[in-house]
Amino acid sequence: MLKIVYLGPQNTNTHLAALRRFKSKAKFNHAPTVEDVFRAVELEEADYGVVPIENSLEGAVTRTLDRFVQFKQTPARIVGEMELPIRHCLITLPRTSRDKVRIIYSHPQALAQCQHWLDKNFSNAARRETRSTAEAVDDLLAKEGLWSRDEKAAIGSPELARQHKLKAAPIPVDRDNRTRFLVISSMHESGRGKRNKTSLMFALKDKPGALHDALIPFKSCGINLTKIESRPTKQRAWEYVFFVDIEGHESDKSVKRALNALKRCTARLLVLGSYSVQKG
């Protein structure tokens, strides 16, 4: 039986992504931080790890990118990618009536994503940030504090509400809210699928036009970039590492050619993984 470690707690979006990917054929454990997921994968305590990498509204999950930035010889490779639509619900006790809600708990990203709806429907309720949507429900259920449990609400997934036998009212979405997750492993190779993607990280040479030069190999080999992201090296101020996703598998002839050319015009280059892409 496969062992899967995901960024927890239970019934957060990363858990839902892990469940959808590995279904019931696996044993699931959660870890409190992205760092802990990587460590479990590196120590081979888990076959696969699942972490968020990007949200369509909030952008990159910098904690995950930064885990790669050190260019350390980590045995962890990206072996897959998942994409899930994010469905937020207003979670309350079954007996709570909406006009009684005085405080709403959730993860800062969830609060930000529901901001317009909250402004319109709960302009008088306080908002309180929690470390996860699961912690928001814990706060809702806590009996101590200023508010009674039927004056409180949380924002989280319908699955989270079900777990605690709470009421979940879907929050209408005005924008395309999706999150991408990475599957990492140091024990298993990635499968090659119909549609493949390769994730790279590189540091530029210190000369004018260096970024332009680093993009020439992709253009000349006809390879599409789906994503580019820069992160500080944390070594010297205002020096960056670039994360690039390209279409195609590293065993494709054109990708091989582009990577060879890229190696010559960058200061450092690392292929983080080459894997098939699934839509959630």
Contacts (CB under 8 A) with its own copies, residues 39-68: 55-59, 62
Nearer CB in complex with its own copies: 100/232: 232
Helix (H) or strand (E) holding 66: helix 62-69
Q: CB of residue 97 vs its own copies: minimum separation in angstroms? A: 31
Among the residue ranges 13-21, 116-124, 142-150, 174-182, the one whose residues contact its own copies (CB under 8 A):
174-182
Per residue, the 3-state secondary structure of 111-172, as one string, reads: HHHCHHHHHHHCCCCEEEECCCHHHHHHHHHCCCCCCCHHHEEEEECHHHHHHCCCEEEECC
Contacts (CB under 8 A) with its own copies, residues 187-216: 208-209, 211-213, 215-216
Q: How far apart are CA 123 and CA 212, in angstroms?
A: 48
Q: How far apart are CA 113 and CA 263, in angstroms?
A: 39
Q: How far apart are CA 193 and CA 214, in angstroms?
A: 27
Assess 225 for contact with its own copies (CB under 8 A).
yes
Catalytic center residues: 179, 181
Residue choice 20, 227, 256, 257 for contact with its own copies (CB under 8 A): 227
Assess 277 for contact with its own copies (CB under 8 A).
no
Nearer CB in complex with its own copies: 59/172: 59
Assess 276 for contact with its own copies (CB under 8 A).
no
Q: CB of residue 215 vs its own copies: minimum separation in angstroms? A: 4
Residue 270's SS3 state is: strand
Check: CB of residue 106 under 8 Å from CB of residue 130.
yes
Residue 224's SS3 state is: coil
Q: Binding residues for its own copies, per CB under 8 A?
A: 55-59, 62, 175-178, 208-209, 211-213, 215-216, 218-219, 222-232, 234-238, 240
